[in-house]
């Protein structure tokens, strides 16, 4: 069966990572002074669930850590211990350890046993500081299936029986009601065969039998011997230390004195009882408890009832209305399946567009039904596409949730006091983007903390509250999602950046706008940090951030005010799979220009076009001279129009630079499904991908940013 | 007709493993993620056995047990607690709430089937 288990590993890994993340989030928002019981419970549940899974899959190291975590958490939620900040730290560390262990099992690196041992030790110490009696040893983790837990719960007073062969002593007490003399004798004999038996039944007791048994056997064996004969409800086995066993028995004796009464054969009371078996048990009088061989009438009756009830259940289930509205329930689907679906829907959209184009050639009056069918198909396709795309959408909280920890750790390292606020965590964006945005965002948050927010002393001196604030905000704007990282720190220092840029030989001058100056920090190797710390300031980072954002089709902007704060905003397309584009025609070819780069399109007069030094052409648009990119020249096509004023100029903006794209004609606005050109063909300069148009032809999607940058360089 | 088992666990890995094991043995399996979900599904389907975790968000296994036992068609349906908690305390609580029996996690699939076979044959 173990091989079958492996297919569930992946689910367990994912689930555990999520649980760990939840746990961390709860820990971070936990107020040590007045801990929220709900949070404690949630943390406990997370640890508990991980432990359960880890145990099932045999990841003992994880079970150990989670068990220790659980033990301490249990004390906290029961109020046996007060929450202290060391505990939160220890929990966080334990979370890290589990994460590493998880990664280890996933085959992504190796967990450090020493690290785990240290955390275990720490947790144990914290947990032992309670006034309450110490709970079970952590080493018991894997022994849940051992004897102590296997006792049927009806044995309420019992103490775990040691597994060893050492002499055990038991006080046995049970009701004689329903037992024949012969049965009692038989029982006595059976018990005698286990060890030395003493009858301690007082003379006055008529319905109770008390025995004292010293035996090599475990409590379970004793139980087993008795359980088939005696009503387990009325059976009590108490393990006693040999020296005080006698006392106990006599105590019991003293309380009762009656005479034994023999009853007729009446097996009805001997409800079936499962002998204790590893790791499970049944409550004898519970509904639908299983029958053993030779089951009593009572059980048979109850099982008949059972059948009746099931019958009733069937009929009433039919009649029962679908009760209670279904609340959030979810299924886990692999991302490949979703992607495949998105692809198929993409194909469907193309097919639909093709059909629509063919249908449009038919007379709408004669083929009215065809046309109404086509418009219905179009609506349905669009709805389907939207809902399929929404599957890939995830709330940005998946990324945001990691930052409280980052900020917490970093702030304490830098001796700064920082509060992290998040706004719009529920804003959704494509899963692919979520994964790729995390690293750049981490850079930005770390930068804000290191360079932005000042030390408490400096802040107080500047008349600000000692605690700084970093705000993460996400919201939708048009077809994009905007993510902002802002701080109320010192702001960017214009003079310093300019000085640094000069030092590095960058082309700068004092007349540059603030916006242009701020963008300098995205240059490779640029850092204005006075001292290089191990947090940031090594000059790698911002340029990488910018590159990453751009590769996602996004752009990054900075606003900053000296002494007040800095806000960096990232603007990203909602999804990587579909793009809003303008289709433009050049000759017999069609190209797609991503809509978010387009500012406007215009038909220039010939007077606006200027030719500069040789082949370069610029167009004057509202006092600005923009380089003209002639698409037919780049792709070596035969255009329908060659002079700019006969065609159309599409004004593009990328990375703060504007250029004018010269095309024959504008065709229309489409939502296109992006197909990778690289995987289907090869990488082509100036092209970021391809799509299939309604007529089945392939149209290339322009890499607008690259085209604009290339045209700017020609200008220089 | 195959017997139907309602498997309730907030942990997807455990739940799916249970479902996989049971399906392999020829049972129909309905999965629920917590007590509330289970209660709703119990109302919609005819179930021969309920296998529930105890520690779950929203509604825990004990509450589920209690509420199920209040439904006329679940008075005698076997309900097994599947739990990592092995103390007598939780078992006593489960028993009071109307559980048929208990099974500790971690369990191995063979034992799960064994126990279930004992209950619903």
Q: How do residues B6-20 score in pLDDT, each as one tens digit?
A: 999 888 888 888 888
Higher pLDDT, A198 or A159: A198
| Residue in B11, B57, B74 closest to A15 by CB | B11
- How many angstroms separate the most distant Cα atoms in chain A? 126
**Would you report the helix, strand and coil content of chain B in percent, each value rounded to 5?**
50, 20, 30
Mean pLDDT of chain A: 73
Quick one: average pLDDT of B19-25? 85
Residues A621 and A630: their CA atoms lie apart, in Å, by 16
The count of C-alpha atoms lying within 13 angstroms of the C-alpha of A18, restricted to the half-sphere facing its C-beta, is 14
pLDDT of residue A714: 67
Weakest-pLDDT range from A657-661, A675-679, B64-68? A675-679
The single residue of A168, A447, A548, A596 carrying the catalytic annotation is: A447
Selected for mutation to probe chain A from B76, B97, B116 (highest A CB count within 10 Å) is: B76
**How far is the alpha carbon of B27 from chain A, nearest alpha carbon, in Å?**
16
Band the pLDDT of A270: cuts 50, 70, 90.
very low
CB distance from A281 to chain B under 8 Å?
Answer: yes
**How far is the alpha carbon of B121 from chain A, nearest alpha carbon, in Å?**
9
Those residues whose C-beta lies under 8 Å from the C-beta of residue A31, and which sit 6 or more positions away, are none
Q: Under an 8 A CB cutoff, do A287 and B72 touch?
A: no
Q: Under an 8 A CB cutoff, do B79 and A149 touch?
A: no
Nearest residue in chain A measured CA to CA from B99? A286
Those residues whose C-beta lies under 8 Å from the C-beta of residue A208, and which sit 6 or more positions away, are A173, A174, A175, A176, A201, A256, A258
Asked if residues A202 and A257 have their Cβ atoms less than 8 Å apart, the reply is yes
pLDDT at A142 over 70: no
Residues A183 and A200: their CA atoms lie apart, in Å, by 18
pLDDT of residue A213: 73
Asked if residues A139 and A169 have their Cβ atoms less than 8 Å apart, the reply is no
Helix (H, G, I), strand (E, B) or coil at A200: coil
Q: Under an 8 A CB cutoff, do B14 and A309 touch?
A: no
pLDDT at A514 over 70: yes
pLDDT of residue A591: 93
pLDDT at A189 over 60: yes
- Does residue A670 have an active-site annotation? no
pLDDT of residue A165: 40
pLDDT of residue A130: 53
pLDDT at A664 over 80: yes
Predicted ipTM beyond 0.85: no
Those residues whose C-beta lies under 8 Å from the C-beta of residue A485, and which sit 6 or more positions away, are A441, A444, A445, A448, A470, A471, A472, A567, A568, A569, A570
pLDDT of residue A409: 84
Asked if residues A176 and A205 have their Cβ atoms less than 8 Å apart, the reply is no
Q: Under an 8 A CB cutoff, do A316 and B72 touch?
A: yes
pLDDT at A258 over 50: no
Higher pLDDT, A418 or A654: A418
pLDDT at A140 over 90: no
Quick one: average pLDDT of A116-136? 69
pLDDT in tens, A356-412: 888 888 888 888 888 889 889 988 988 888 788 788 788 888 888 888 888 888 888
Residues of chain A contacting residue B21, judged by C-beta atoms under 8 Å apart: 1, 4
DSSP of A488-556? -S----HHHHHHHHHHTT----TT--HHHHHHGGGSTT----SS--SSS-SS-SHHHHHHHHHHTT-EE
Q: In what order do the strands lie in the sheet with A598-602?
A: A598-602, A648-654, A657-663, A624-630, A616-621, A609-612
pLDDT of residue A186: 65
Can you give the pTM of this predicted structure?
0.45
Those residues whose C-beta lies under 8 Å from the C-beta of residue A163, and which sit 6 or more positions away, are A146, A147, A218
Residues A231 and A174: their CA atoms lie apart, in Å, by 8
Nearest to A660 by CA among A690, A629, A705: A629
pLDDT at A571 over 80: yes
CB distance from A78 to chain B under 8 Å?
Answer: no
Band the pLDDT of A301: cuts 50, 70, 90.
very low
pLDDT of residue A248: 45
Helices B61-70 and B88-97, interaxial angle, to 10°?
20
pLDDT of residue A576: 64
pLDDT of residue A499: 84
The single residue of A70, A220, A238, A454 carrying the catalytic annotation is: A70
Those residues whose C-beta lies under 8 Å from the C-beta of residue A79, and which sit 6 or more positions away, are none
pLDDT in tens, A318-367: 433 433 344 456 777 787 888 888 888 878 887 887 888 888 888 888 88
One CATH from 3.40.50.720, 3.40.50.2300, 3.50.50.60, 3.40.50.300 for B4-120: 3.40.50.2300
Percentage of chain A exceeding pLDDT 70: 69
pLDDT at B48 over 80: yes
- Does residue A306 have an active-site annotation? no
CB distance from A15 to chain B under 8 Å?
Answer: yes
Q: Under an 8 A CB cutoff, do B101 and A56 touch?
A: no
CB distance from A135 to chain B under 8 Å?
Answer: no
Interstrand relation of A589-594 and A208-215 (parallel, antiparallel or unpaired)? unpaired
DSSP conformation class of A154: T
Weakest-pLDDT range from A323-332, A392-401, A496-505, B27-36? A323-332
pLDDT of residue A234: 61
Domains of chain A: 2-143 (1.20.120.160), 147-267 (3.30.70), 336-392 (1.10.287), 410-573 (3.30.565.10), 578-715 (2.40.50.180)
pLDDT of residue A312: 45
Quick one: average pLDDT of A210-230? 65
**Domain range summary for chain B, segments of one domain joined by +:** 4-120
Residues A606 and A600: their CA atoms lie apart, in Å, by 18
Residues A468 and A489: their CA atoms lie apart, in Å, by 7
Band the pLDDT of A217: cuts 50, 70, 90.
low
Higher pLDDT, A470 or A578: A470
Q: Under an 8 A CB cutoff, do B109 and A309 touch?
A: no
Percentage of chain A exceeding pLDDT 90: 4
Quick one: average pLDDT of A421-448? 85
pLDDT at A228 over 60: no
């Amino acid at each position: 069966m173990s091989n079958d288990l492996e297919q569930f590993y992946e689910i367990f890994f994912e689930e555990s990572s999520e649980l760990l993340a939840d746990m961390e989030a709860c820990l971070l928002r936990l107020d040590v002074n007045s801990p929220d019981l709900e949070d404690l419970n949630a943390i406990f549940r997370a640890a508990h669930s991980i432990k359960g899974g880890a145990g099932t899959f045999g990841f003992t190291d994880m079970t150990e850590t989670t068990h220790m975590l659980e033990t301490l958490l249990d004390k906290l939620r029961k109020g046996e211990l007060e929450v202290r900040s060391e505990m939160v730290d220890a929990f966080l560390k334990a979370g890290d350890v589990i994460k590493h262990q998880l990664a280890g099992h996933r085959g992504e690196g190796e967990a450090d046993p020493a690290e785990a041992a240290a955390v275990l030790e720490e947790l144990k110490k914290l947990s032992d500081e309670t006034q309450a009696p110490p709970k079970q040893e952590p080493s018991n983790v894997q022994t849940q299936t051992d004897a102590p837990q296997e006792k049927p719960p009806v044995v309420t007073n019992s103490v775990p029986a040691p597994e060893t062969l050492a002499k055990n002593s038991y006080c046995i007490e049970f009701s004689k009601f329903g037992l024949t003399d012969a049965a009692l004798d038989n029982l006595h004999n059976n018990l005698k065969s286990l060890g030395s038996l003493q009858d301690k039944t007082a003379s006055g007791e008529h319905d109770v039998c008390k025995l004292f048994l010293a035996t090599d056997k475990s409590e379970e064996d004793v139980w087993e011997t008795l359980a088939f004969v005696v009503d387990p409800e009325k059976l009590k086995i108490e393990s006693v230390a040999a020296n005080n066993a006698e006392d106990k028995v006599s105590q019991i004796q003293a309380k009762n004195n009656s005479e034994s009464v023999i009853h007729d054969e009446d097996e009805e009371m001997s409800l079936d009882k499962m002998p204790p078996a590893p790791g499970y048990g049944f409550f004898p009088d519970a509904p639908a408890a299983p029958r053993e061989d030779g089951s009593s009438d009572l059980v048979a009756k109850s099982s008949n009832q059972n059948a009746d009830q099931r019958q009733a259940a069937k009929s009433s289930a039919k009649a029962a209305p679908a009760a209670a509205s279904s609340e959030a329930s979810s299924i886990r689907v692999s991302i490949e399946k979703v992607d495949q679906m998105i692809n198929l829907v993409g194909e469907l959209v193309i097919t639909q567009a093709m059909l629509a184009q063919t249908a449009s050639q038919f007379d709408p009056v004669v083929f009215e039904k065809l046309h109404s069918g086509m418009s219905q198909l179009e609506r349905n396709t669009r709805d389907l596409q939207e809902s399929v795309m929404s599957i890939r959408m995830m709330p940005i909280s998946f990324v945001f949730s990691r930052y409280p920890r980052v900020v917490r750790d970093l702030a304490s390292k830098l001796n700064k006091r920082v509060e992290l606020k998040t706004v719009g965590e529920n804003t959704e964006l494509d899963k692919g983007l979520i994964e790729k945005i995390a690293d750049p965002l981490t850079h930005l948050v770390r930068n804000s903390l290191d360079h932005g927010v000042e030390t408490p002393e400096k802040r107080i001196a500047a008349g600000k509250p000692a605690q700084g604030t970093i705000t993460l905000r996400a919201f939708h704007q048009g077809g994009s999602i905007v993510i902002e990282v802002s701080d109320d720190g010192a702001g960017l220092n214009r003079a310093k950046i300019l000085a640094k840029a000069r030092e590095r030989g960058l082309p700068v001058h004092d007349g540059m706008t603030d916006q242009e100056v701020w963008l300098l920090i995205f240059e490779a190797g640029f850092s204005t940090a006075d001292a290089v710390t191990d947090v940031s300031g090594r000059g790698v980072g911002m340029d990488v951030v910018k590159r990453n954002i751009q590769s996602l089709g996004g752009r990054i902007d900075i606003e900053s005010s000296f002494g007040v704060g800095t806000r960096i905003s990232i603007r990203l397309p909602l999804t990587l799979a579909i793009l809003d584009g303008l289709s433009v025609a050049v000759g017999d070819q069609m190209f797609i220009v991503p809509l978010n780069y387009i500012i406007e399109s215009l038909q220039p007069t010939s007077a606006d076009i200027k030719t500069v030094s040789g082949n370069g052409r610029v167009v004057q648009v509202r006092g600005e001279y923009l380089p003209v990119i002639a698409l037919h020249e780049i792709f070596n096509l035969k255009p329908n129009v060659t002079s700019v004023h006969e065609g159309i100029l599409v004004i593009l903006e990328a990375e703060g630079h504007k250029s004018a794209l010269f095309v024959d004609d504008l065709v229309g606005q489409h939502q296109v499904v992006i197909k990778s050109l690289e995987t289907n063909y090869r990488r082509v300069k100036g092209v970021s991908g391809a799509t299939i148009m309604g007529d089945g032809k392939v149209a290339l999607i322009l890499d607008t940013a690259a085209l604009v940058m290339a045209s700017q360089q020609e200008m220089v | 007709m195959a017997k139907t088992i309602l498997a309730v666990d907030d942990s997807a890995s455990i739940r799916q493993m249970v479902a996989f094991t049971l399906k392999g043995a020829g049972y129909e399996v309905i999965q629920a993620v917590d007590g509330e979900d289970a209660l709703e599904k119990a109302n919609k389907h005819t179930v021969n056995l309920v296998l529930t975790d105890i520690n779950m968000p929203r509604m825990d296994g004990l509450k589920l047990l209690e509420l199920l036992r209040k439904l006329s068609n679940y008075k005698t349906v076997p309900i097994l607690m599947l739990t990592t908690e092995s103390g007598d305390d939780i078992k006593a609580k489960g028993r009071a709430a109307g559980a048929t029996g208990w099974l500790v996690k971690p369990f191995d699939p063979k034992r799960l089937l064994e126990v279930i076979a004992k209950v619903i044959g």
